[in-house]
Amino acid sequence: MKNDYLLESLNSVDDRAVEQAGDYRPVRRRGFGLAIAAAAMFVLALVLALAIGKIGHKGGEQTANGSEQTEAPADTHVPGDHARITLLHSSGGFDSNIVLSYKRDMAAARGEKVDLTNHFDVPENTLVEWVPFFKYDGRLYWSAFGELDQAAYLGERVLTVKEVYHRLPSEYNDGEGVFRGEVYAVNGFDPSFMLCRENPYYEGELVVYICDNGYSVAYGADVIEERFHVGERLESIIYEDMESEKHAYGIRHSLAAQSEAAKAFMQAIDEGAWCVPYETEEELEALANSDHWLVWLDLGDFSIRLRILEGKYAMLLGSFGGYFIELDEAKVRPFLDAMESGEGEAVENNAQLRGMKLEDAVLEPTYGRYIPDYIPEDARFEYCIGEYEVERKTGRTIGIKRLNLSYEYAPGSKVSGYINIYIGDLEAVHAVQGYEDPVRRYDVRLEELTADSFISQTDDPEYPVWRAVVYSGEVSIDITAGNVDRAELVKLIRSCFD
């Protein structure tokens, strides 16, 4: 047949050009005017959940909320069909992702349109604070755990982010985020997947932002290798069992990347198919909370968090929360055996926290410094976490500063204690923080503050995490600190009010 070999003529293309094209993504500048409709309130609710670390699902149907509805791509299939799914969203708390992925996948199973952005049924006027994201090229990038070395990783400038706060309900546009400044490519990583900015607090470090939505994937390697390049970067695999996880000073083990068990695990992950191993929401929650192992793929600069369920599912947490890879049970068996027999170097989790010292504290502002007066007077708002509700009475501005007591206690995990200083309405402050515990339990007036005013948040006398909320007038300070001298802490707090 004529031109039967036409496509084979391209085989002569230079190998290096092909190698380059294999991962090629252009880095280009984007103007702020490229508004792409998407990402409405649900995004901010997820961010809120991210800030707080837990989320309570309230059920209900997804609502449009102004987000873009898009036809499902031709290659999006439901689990059990062709094992090809589309990653849609990103968050730190896996529950939120589970619920969303469940809804998405069930909708696809019914042959319905699949929302390629994200939705969440959040009431209007939901307060959002500490929102570590920005939007670029129509997608959301979320801050990830870990810091990269600036000298090695800082790439070309990609965009300038314009700082916007709390525009609920609203849509975020390209180039908008929760900080103001330049964003750069990360050397060695696809810019459509990972970007960074200079850490405003630690010279020479980069804050990493990852976009994990909008990708169509079939195998674990499509994310693990194609985007994270784990095969080239893996240094070790860290694991911890479920019982250990419950203790503040549990034991984590580290397996060298070259070990047979680690190799077997990575092969199982790479070759495993993405799947949704549940049909009902109840099954999903039962699976996610069943006996499991916590696993970190330690890439040196940052880590990828997994949960191994039923010995055959790897569930990606963190930026990739709520997605499952089905593992070949025979291939993953050496790794499971290694974990069960406690192979590898053992390290006490949070050991560094025990040595926390006040003199090492670093004063730094938090991400969200202001809560502007966008909230209508007497507006009622609530969170999607817990049952906490607040009546907001004024549109007062609240200033927040943060005093960090930080130590790295696991790959990519750093902050372990902090003091937040708020100037403004106390109730609103706690609405922002969204603590599940009754706020008043920790409250103490400045003039009554003593070393005994602190309450430990753990039941373990050997590992106290002290907390108090000190307030005076319109200023309050929320302290959470590890094994520190509380008398010294009192002095420090009093100085903050001076």
Partner 1 sequence: MNDSKIVDLYLARSEDAVKETSLKYGARLRSAALKLGCDTGTAEECENDVYLRAWELIPPNEPREYLFAFLAKLLRSAAIDRLRRASAGKRSAEFTELTHELEECLAGNMSVDTEAEAKELGRMINAFLAAQPEEKRMLFIRRYWFFDSVDELSKRFGFSKSKVKTELFRMRGRLADYLRKEGYSL
Among 130, 133, 219, 407, binds partner 1 (CB under 8 A): 219
Among 2, 110, 246, 440, binds partner 1 (CB under 8 A): 2
Task: Please name the residues in contact with 190: beta carbons below 8 A apart, sequence gap of 6 or more.
Answer: 23, 25, 226, 227
Angle at 291 between CA 312 and CA 285, to 5 degrees: 85
CB 373 within 8 A of CB 395: yes
x-or-dash string of contact with partner 1, 176-195, rule CB under 8 A:
----------------x---
Secondary structure (3-state) at 430: helix
Among 176, 270, 298, 478, binds partner 1 (CB under 8 A): 270
Nearest distance, CB of residue 271 and partner 1, angstroms = 6
What is the separation of C-alpha 466 from the centre of its chain, rounded to a whole number of angstroms? 25
Which of the residues 120 through 139 are near partner 1 (CB under 8 A)?
Answer: 137
In the complex with partner 1, the residue whose CB is nearer, 331 or 396, is: 331
256 strand-pairing partners: 236
Among 20, 69, 290, 341, binds partner 1 (CB under 8 A): 20
For residues 320 and 97, what is the distance between their CA atoms, to the nearest angstrom? Answer: 8
Residue 201 CB burial class (10 angstroms; 0-12, 13-18, ≥19): middle
In the complex with partner 1, the residue whose CB is nearer, 73 or 355, is: 73
x-or-dash string of contact with partner 1, 67-96, rule CB under 8 A:
------x-----------------------
List of E strands, 164-261? 176-177, 181-186, 194-198, 205-210, 215-217, 236-241, 251-256
Tokens standing for 2? 């004529």
16 forms part of the interface with partner 1 (CB under 8 A): yes
5 φ, ψ (degrees, to nearest 5): -100, 10
212 forms part of the interface with partner 1 (CB under 8 A): no
Q: Which stretch binds partner 1 (CB under 8 A): 217-225, 409-417, 418-426, 450-458?
A: 217-225
Give how far Cα 89 sits from Cα of 113, 154, 218, 224, 227, Å. 16, 26, 17, 17, 16
x-or-dash string of contact with partner 1, 226-265, rule CB under 8 A:
x----xx------------------------------x--
Size of site (CB under 8 A) for partner 1: 44
330 forms part of the interface with partner 1 (CB under 8 A): no
In the complex with partner 1, the residue whose CB is nearer, 323 or 381, is: 323
Site residues, partner 1 (CB under 8 A): 1-22, 24-26, 28, 73, 137, 192, 214, 218-222, 225-226, 231-232, 263, 266-267, 270-271
